[in-house]
Amino acid sequence: MATIAELESISSQVRRDIIRMVNGCSSGHPGGSLGCADLMSALYFKELDIKPENFTIEGNKEDMFFLSNGHISPVWYSVLSRRGFFPTKELATFRQLGSRLQGHPTPKYNLPGVRVASGSLGQGMSVGIGAALAKKMNGCGHLVYTLHGDGELQEGQIWEAVMFAGSNKVDNLISIIDYNNAQIDGKVDNVLTLGNLKEKFLAFNWEVVEMQGNDMEDCLRGLNDAKSLTKNGKPVVILMHTLMGYGVDFMQGLNKWHGTAPTDEQATNALSQLKETLGDY
Amino acid sequence: MKKYNVLGNKDTRSGFGDGLLEAGKRNPNVVALCADLTESVKMTAFKEEFPDRFVQVGIAESNMVSIAAGMALSGKVAYIGTFAAFATGRVYDQIRQSVAYSNTNVKICGSHAGITLGEDGATHQILEDIGLMKMIPNMVVINPCDYNQTKQATIAISEHNGPVYLRFGRPKVPIFISEDTPFEIGKAIVLNEGKDVTIIATGHLVWEAIVAGEKLAEQGIDAEIINIHTIKPLDTEAILRSVNKTGCVVSCEEHQYNGGLNDSVSQLLSRNNPKPIEYIGIDDKFGESGKPEDLMVKYGLKSENIISAVHKAIKRK
């Protein structure tokens, strides 16, 4: 089982991968990817019970993960490849013609780890609910995880899903909100405030866990708390406080890095701040 | 003209309901989801027989589509049922991303399609759904013509692995396809062989085409009548074979002709064998409240309209 230090070392490499992928094709979304690097490393290297060597769309007898905010594909692709779902050298093809690593994730080219397309926001929680319901029908005791941006919660479908999961006791679902208060047009609070998110989820009959998503120890604590709350009649949401662009000083906390690729010079600067721990692809 | 007897009068949505129940009995992985219209779209029998395989999502169609996609990923054959207007236009993006692009095994079942929904009026009378659905890659589009064919189609799509849009309606209409008529997705049914004109019809207008064919026969016009239940993939072979023989076409649908069956057939002919084609369909209009039969007359979807169109098409040969 991975230790905190080992997970931190993985997330440092994942951050390097993100910078190199986005810089390599001069496009993509580094901000949210960097912010979620710790969570994704914790999920894929510790929390999820998964079979990277034998990936199936059905995901029977294993945990399932759905990335609803598909634009942070760099962090997902990096973690998937580092975990052994596909060769890390494939990360170099990100967003290139003919690549399985499309700008936004899709199962179309049989990329192991990806089960459904995402990119158009707001659909992943519903998909996760469907998978969670099927798990119950199939007698599978594993969990379904979904990840969302906080700006994504402005989509109406999210609240249809939140209402459904709370009403129908979908208690094998853990939805994680990347609560960085940043979206393309500015701070979420200024674009369209989410108000008291915790109270909203509680009102919809969810269990709520809060955690610091850029503190590996707290990340593990939060994921563990969330898991312990499952199978008790309520879905679980994790409000994960992060900084957009975390780990790169000139990106940190700035919404302009939502979907902007660093220049070569900026990438060099960023990489100098991130330790190469597992070997660059 | 081959004689077609009316075997009864039933709504095609009931064919869907009975087909769904049968599909559920044959395959334990069949599940059904509904958005607060269980009885209207005839899903009650399935719900009562398989309560653990039925999901009531409430009035939240977007959520329903994506939940169905998630269930399909895990090996379920997920049928979603609501009015066609809400099953297609309202949730286009969910269908496009979670269902079609992801190629999930979801069956989008749209009831109350077309103008014959009647009194509820244009908000609910979707006349663009075939076009919306056929344009999406991976999507199969089926518009059966009577109770029996709708039941057959509902069962057949459970055996097709991939996204399907199944379109059916509200009013009671004649049953004329026998239960033992083979149904194969993508395979047109030649209801009458003829040499003067090819009438290509889908959905409720197939019966009108038969009525028209009988009257045309009395006028000495020998019409070939093709029932296109699958608009995508289109049975191009059956259409081209027929048009080679007859030299002109009338397409008939309860839908905008722009984007509908007429559009598919016209494209096929223009590429392979350009011939005169006339259409029976909605001409860039919204519907309105009224009795289904009165609306069919007002919007020119009756056998008389087909007969006029046939005369025009033949004249243009």
Domain span at residue B111? 10-175
Choices 3.40.50.970, 3.40.640.10, 3.30.470.10, 3.40.50.300: CATH for A4-272: 3.40.50.970
Listed in sequence order, the residues at least 6 apart from A56 whose beta carbon sits closer than 8 Å to its beta carbon are none
Q: Check residue A158 and give its pLDDT.
A: 98
Cα-Cα-Cα-Cα dihedral sign, residues B178, B181, B183, B189: negative
How many whole angstroms separate alpha carbon B57 and alpha carbon B146?
28
In whole angstroms, how large is the CA radius of gyration of chain B? 19
Listed in sequence order, the residues at least 6 apart from B104 whose beta carbon sits closer than 8 Å to its beta carbon are A116, B68, B69, B72, B73, B78, B98, B163
Q: Are residues B95 and B195 in the same domain?
A: no
Cα-Cα-Cα-Cα dihedral sign, residues A146, A147, A153, A155: negative
Instruction: Tell me if B184 is assigned to some domain.
Output: no
Instruction: Tell me if B56 is assigned to some domain.
Output: yes
Q: Which of A58, A118, A164 sits opposite B60 (nearest CB)?
A: A164
Query: Is the pLDDT at A1 greater than 70, yes or no?
Result: no
Q: Are residues B147 and B225 in the same domain?
A: no
ipTM: 0.96
Q: Which of A108, A130, A135 sits opposite B69 (nearest CB)?
A: A130
Inter-residue contact A14 to A80 (CB < 8 Å)? no
Size of interface A-B (CB pairs under 8 A): 115
- Residue B271: CATH number of its domain: 3.40.50.920
Inter-residue contact B296 to B116 (CB < 8 Å)? yes
Instruction: Tell me if B181 is assigned to some domain.
Output: no
As averages over each run of 10 residues, the pLDDT of chain B (317 residues) reads 96 98 98 98 98 98 98 97 98 98 98 97 98 98 98 98 98 97 97 98 98 98 98 98 98 97 98 98 98 98 98 98
Residue A127 phi, psi (nearest 5)? -60, -45
Tokens of B145: 């013509």
Instruction: Tell me if B119 is assigned to some domain.
Output: yes
Q: Are residues B17 and B164 in the same domain?
A: yes
Query: How big, in percent rounded to 5, are the helix, strand and coil portions of chain A?
Result: 45, 10, 45
How many whole angstroms separate alpha carbon B181 and alpha carbon B183?
6
Q: Check residue A277 and give its pLDDT.
A: 98
CB contact under 8 A, B62 and A132: no
Question: In terms of Cα–Cα distance, which of B192, B275, B186, B177 is closest to B226?
Answer: B192
Structural element, H or E, at residue A102: none
Per-domain boundaries in chain A = 4-272
Which of B56, B73, B104 has the most A C-beta neighbours within 10 Å, making it the best mutation to test the interface with A? B73
Q: Are residues B98 and B208 in the same domain?
A: no
Q: Are residues B234 and B121 in the same domain?
A: no
- B61 as an active site residue: the answer is yes
Q: Are residues B248 and B161 in the same domain?
A: no
Residue A61 in contact with partner chain B when CB distance is under 8 A: no
Q: Are residues B195 and B171 in the same domain?
A: no
A131 vs B contacts (CB less than 8 Å): 70-71, 73-74
Q: Are residues B168 and B44 in the same domain?
A: yes
A127 vs B contacts (CB less than 8 Å): 66-67, 69-70, 73, 98
- Residue B14: CATH number of its domain: 3.40.50.970
Q: Are residues B154 and B238 in the same domain?
A: no
Alpha helices by DSSP H, B74-223: 84-87, 92-94, 129-134, 147-158, 205-218
Q: Which of B123, B147, B175 is the last residue of a domain?
A: B175
Q: Are residues B126 and B235 in the same domain?
A: no
Question: In terms of Cα–Cα distance, which of A205, A212, A130 is closest to A176?
Answer: A212
DSSP character at residue B161: -
Q: Are residues B30 and B141 in the same domain?
A: yes
Listed in sequence order, the residues at least 6 apart from B294 whose beta carbon sits closer than 8 Å to its beta carbon are none
Q: Are residues B252 and B141 in the same domain?
A: no
Number of separate domains in chain B: 2
Q: Which residue of A has its CA nearest to B90?
A: A157
Question: In terms of Cα–Cα distance, which of B75, B78, B76 is closest to B64?
Answer: B78
CB contact under 8 A, A118 and B65: no
Residue B131 phi, psi (nearest 5)? -60, -45
Strand, helix or coil at A147?
strand
Q: Which tens digit of pLDDT belongs to each residue from A178-198? A: 999 999 999 999 999 999 999
User: Rounded mean pLDDT of chain A?
Assistant: 97
Residue A131 in contact with partner chain B when CB distance is under 8 A: yes
Tokens of B139: 């999507």
How many whole angstroms separate alpha carbon A95 and alpha carbon A27?
8
Nearest CA of chain A to the CA of B122: how many Å? Answer: 25
Angle (deg, nearest 10), helices A73-82 and A4-25: 130
Q: Which of A66, A123, A133 sits opposite B71 (nearest CB)?
A: A133
Listed in sequence order, the residues at least 6 apart from B67 whose beta carbon sits closer than 8 Å to its beta carbon are A126, A127, A129, A130, A133, A161, A164, B33, B55, B57
Residue A160 in contact with partner chain B when CB distance is under 8 A: yes
Place of tokens 């799509």: B157
Residue A135 in contact with partner chain B when CB distance is under 8 A: yes
CB contact under 8 A, B55 and A59: no
B137 vs A contacts (CB less than 8 Å): none
Tokens of B62: 């977007």
DSSP character at residue A159: H
Q: Which of B175, B204, B238 is the last residue of a domain?
A: B175
A134 vs B contacts (CB less than 8 Å): 31, 70-71, 73-76
How many whole angstroms separate alpha carbon B149 and alpha carbon B190?
14
Banded model confidence at residue A280, pLDDT cuts 50, 70, 90: very high
CB contact under 8 A, B73 and A160: no
